[in-house]
A and B are shown apart, each in its own frame.
Chain A
Amino acid sequence: MTRKQRRLTLIGAGIGVLGLAGALVLSALKESIVFFNSPSDVVEKRIAPGTRIRLGGLVAPGSIERSDNLAVSFRVTDGNRTITVAYRGILPDLFREGQGVVTEGALDTAGIFKADSVLAKHDETYMPKEVADALKKQGHWKDDYDKKAGAPAKGRAQ
């Protein structure tokens, strides 16, 4: 092989692999990303049943109903709209009424959100960022959501 041919092989291989990577990324972005929606978004955007989404909001107080075989249902609200979520399985440690939650799944034809995962949270003060933003958008954000109970005000620090 001449020097020129070797260089062309190298450049060709480089472009080929990058092209492959680009094609894979584009097709995967089209098919495998999931949009986050608040209950209001679901109603406003008229999200079709069967479309995979993430639904986030606060767990409405008094809405958790457990039945046999670990089936559980609860309502997710952003203050304006509420959607009932059905899930089967073990809920994360920090799943509580009045706390933020993110679930992933799809709406069925009756308007019930069939979740196949309820996302675990890691901290009692942690509000999922998406949920916090959705609440702010709906005007139901309260400042004390993100304050740590008992944390000293920064101004008191030396």
Chain B
Amino acid sequence: MIPEIGHYALVLALGLALVQAIVPLAGARLRDPALMGVGGSAAVAQFVFIGVAFAALVISYIVSDFSVANVFENSHSAMPLVYRITSVWGNHEGSMLLWVLILALFGALVACFGSNLPAALKANVLAVQSWVAAAFYLFILTTSNPFLRLADAPFEGRDLNPILQDFGLAIHPPLLYLGYVGCSISFSFAVAALIEGRIDAAWARWVRPWTLAAWIFLTLGIAMGSYWAYYELGWGGWWFWDPVENASLMPWIASTALLHSAVVMEKREALKVWSILLAILAFSLSLIGTFLVRSGVLTSVHTFASDPSRGVFILAILVLFIGGSLALYALRAPLLKQGGLFAPISREGALVFNNLFLTAACATVFVGTLYPLVLEALTGDKISVGAPFFNATFGPLFLPLLVMVPFGPLLAWKRGDLLAAAQRLLVALAAALVAIAATFAYDGQSVLAPFGMGLALFVMVGALSDIAERTMLFRVPFSIAIKRGIGLPRSSWGTAFAHFGLGVALLGIVGETQWGSERIATMKPGEKMTLEHYELTYEGTTPRAGPNFRELTAHFTVRRSGEVVGTLEPAKRTFSTRSMTTTEAALMQRGASQLYLSLGDQNPDGSIAVRLYHKPLVLLIWLGPVVMALGGALSLTDRRLRVGAPKPAKAKTAMQPAE
């Protein structure tokens, strides 16, 4: 019964989406408030129905209803409750349902908190949002229906892919989807503006907070995914330039660019047309990401199953929306009023610099990700484009950006003074030089390490310099500086945090790549192995039975200069339902550094293959993005941006003119 309710609700949501896609649009054309008003109620109702559908699937998973094909294929009654729930989105059909749930959520948010939007703009936005929704409902109902029943219900399910049975799966996809799908709002706003043929002040003020919210989720989602891959896959890598990772990185870069261009748009009324294009591109890249992951053209852990009809359907959605919106852009953009031009050395100029390099870097990732697919389609040659390609292209384009990051906030609008900005960065420069000298003294061989450390320090201290400058720290009494700090716009703090986080992540990346070390060995119980300052003793193994797996845990004692600092207990898990083995790596925190131990095969003579990594500063790689997201959140609480922030208390102040 419950799956049928879900199925029915899904069909009703499609019906509502079709209404919402057409009626408000016609209303905006005919200037009919009643017709335009339909959009809002339809959006909320759509969210309710898709919520019912999602809840129905969750319940089917919780009660292990194996008569539902989707539950049978991806769940097991012995799995802990939390994994039975996360299994809902650990497969293709369920994750698409989560996708549309979030899409409908954003539509409903616009409907609820957009009461001060111009009625026609709101109607158009909701209609565009609903076109996307309708296309994906159709996709789910025709090719990926999660509610299909099996004629005779099996007694037990086939279990979830063991490497997805992890807490990381509970958080990573929802966060990433909130980011991916969050880009749909700025897309809908952009297309609505193009349909209307004008961009008014409300447009600029709405786009930034929505993009910011999406960007925060994307940042956290990508960082979470990276950390999950790091500890779950058992070989200590945190970024593989895997096409699926790139698929999430591209919308992130595009929305980062959009955030920066939106500042120019808001403050200086310039770059409007460019921002519209970026808004379209950011969501297009999200759609391409969905296509890459869901169509099965790539094979990776994210491709739960491949089915050509799905690929073709998503490709059609892709062509329709990306092609359609870009065609509309080509047609309408020349009619939009262009903003003013400005001097190259200015805040605007710095933000354009940011946009140029970010889009160029995004383009190289795009080429590297799609070139193998295109080449195979054209010539049949199969190639892999891996880390060397991206290091040689993305790296050099990101480098000037990092150097410029501290300068941006210190340049004035309209006409900046590069020399004055450089003077304010003297402290940051000094910090960088000290870091370079210290690193060089510590590790005389590597050229990259001192340079990377210096750059990271420059970015970090540079971000703080801006705040120090604005609060007049050290020039006025400390208490006054604090007061000035509290009085600063939250968005200034947000910028500082986000840029500081970037430096922190860079610090981690340099530490991990330049000084990381590893040892691989086979060990017998009682044997020792050393890496850096650590000595590892293999104590033996104990078997253990989990709810739906058997586990062999190996025990190691870690000593540093003779003293025990802890134990590492990596394990091998064997999941009987899928006859699959996973490696559970053991991690030990040492400040921001980690010791990472994973197991290989056990030999008949009792010895076991182990791989031990020492990863200096590795934790900063993920701490950086968390700080960045925190900066984004701070910026979102800025008074100017309260518009549309998805909190009811703030909606009251929504859409008032900027101060």
The answer to whether B360 touches A21, judged by C-beta atoms less than 8 angstroms apart, is: yes
The answer to whether B582 touches A93, judged by C-beta atoms less than 8 angstroms apart, is: yes
The answer to whether A158 touches B151, judged by C-beta atoms less than 8 angstroms apart, is: yes
Q: Check: A157 CB closer than 8 A to any chain B CB.
A: yes
Docked complex Cα distance between A46 and B343 (Å):
58
Q: Which residues 77-106 of A sit at the B interface, judged by CB distance below 8 A?
A: 89-91, 93-94, 104
The interface on chain A, measured as residues whose beta carbon lies within 8 A of the other chain's beta carbons, has a size of: 49
The answer to whether A156 touches B341, judged by C-beta atoms less than 8 angstroms apart, is: no
Given A28-B389, A94-B581, A120-B235: A158 touches B344 (CB 8 Å cut-off): no
Docked complex Cα distance between A91 and B602 (Å):
12
Docked complex Cα distance between A119 and B600 (Å):
14
The answer to whether A129 touches B299, judged by C-beta atoms less than 8 angstroms apart, is: yes
The answer to whether A13 touches B158, judged by C-beta atoms less than 8 angstroms apart, is: no
Docked complex Cα distance between A13 and B150 (Å):
61
Of the candidates B149, B342, B363, B367, the one whose C-beta lies within 8 Å of that of A158 is B149
Docked complex Cα distance between A124 and B159 (Å):
12
Output the least CB separation between B398 and chain A (Å). 11
Residue of B nearest to A38 (CB): B382
Given A24-B393, A120-B235: A91 touches B341 (CB 8 Å cut-off): no
Q: Check: B396 CB closer than 8 A to any chain A CB.
A: yes
The interface on chain B, measured as residues whose beta carbon lies within 8 A of the other chain's beta carbons, has a size of: 61
Given A33-B389, A90-B609, A120-B235: A7 touches B360 (CB 8 Å cut-off): no
Docked complex Cα distance between A14 and B344 (Å):
12
Given A10-B352, A70-B522, A157-B69: A123 touches B393 (CB 8 Å cut-off): no
Given A9-B344, A151-B73: A17 touches B356 (CB 8 Å cut-off): yes
Q: Check: A18 CB closer than 8 A to any chain B CB.
A: yes
Given A91-B600, A93-B583, A124-B580: A13 touches B356 (CB 8 Å cut-off): yes
Docked complex Cα distance between A79 and B603 (Å):
30
The answer to whether A70 touches B360, judged by C-beta atoms less than 8 angstroms apart, is: no
Q: Check: B578 CB closer than 8 A to any chain A CB.
A: yes
Given A25-B364, A28-B392, A94-B580: A3 touches B383 (CB 8 Å cut-off): no
The answer to whether A31 touches B388, judged by C-beta atoms less than 8 angstroms apart, is: yes
What is the predominant secondary structure among interface residues of chain B facing chain A?
Answer: mixed
Q: Which residues 133-158 of A sit at the B interface, judged by CB distance below 8 A?
A: 133, 148, 150-152, 156-158
Output the least CB separation between A145 and chain B (Å). 13
Q: Check: A48 CB closer than 8 A to any chain B CB.
A: no
Docked complex Cα distance between A150 and B364 (Å):
43
The answer to whether A20 touches B397, judged by C-beta atoms less than 8 angstroms apart, is: yes
Most chain A C-beta atoms within 10 Å of own C-beta, residue among B384, B386, B389, B598: B384
Q: Check: B385 CB closer than 8 A to any chain A CB.
A: yes
Docked complex Cα distance between A36 and B382 (Å):
5
Docked complex Cα distance between A33 and B611 (Å):
28
B150: chain A residues within 8 A (beta carbon): 152, 156-158
Output the least CB separation between B273 and chain A (Å). 13
The answer to whether A25 touches B367, judged by C-beta atoms less than 8 angstroms apart, is: yes
Q: Quick one: CB contact mask for B595-611 with A, threshold 8 Å, 1 for yes?
A: 00010110100000101
The answer to whether B363 touches A130, judged by C-beta atoms less than 8 angstroms apart, is: no
A54: chain B residues within 8 A (beta carbon): 382, 384
Most chain B C-beta atoms within 10 Å of own C-beta, residue among A90, A94, A104, A151: A90
Given A33-B383, A124-B578: A157 touches B388 (CB 8 Å cut-off): no
Q: Which residues 360-391 of B sit at the A interface, judged by CB distance below 8 A?
A: 360-361, 363-364, 367-368, 371, 381-386, 388-389
A-B contact pairs, 28 of them (CB 8 A): A6-B342, A10-B341, A17-B357, A17-B397, A20-B396, A21-B363, A28-B388, A29-B371, A31-B392, A32-B386, A33-B384, A33-B385, A35-B381, A35-B382, A54-B384, A66-B603, A70-B521, A90-B520, A90-B611, A91-B600, A93-B583, A94-B581, A104-B384, A120-B233, A130-B382, A157-B148, A158-B150, A158-B151
Known: A13-B344, A21-B364, A33-B389. 17 other contacts (CB 8 A): A6-B344, A24-B364, A24-B392, A28-B388, A32-B386, A33-B384, A34-B383, A35-B382, A36-B384, A70-B521, A90-B598, A120-B233, A124-B580, A126-B299, A128-B299, A129-B298, A157-B69
The residues of A with any CB-CB pair to B shorter than 8 Å are 1, 3, 6-7, 9-10, 13-14, 17-18, 20-21, 24-25, 27-29, 31-36, 54, 66, 69-70, 89-91, 93-94, 104, 120, 122-124, 126, 128-130, 133, 148, 150-152, 156-158
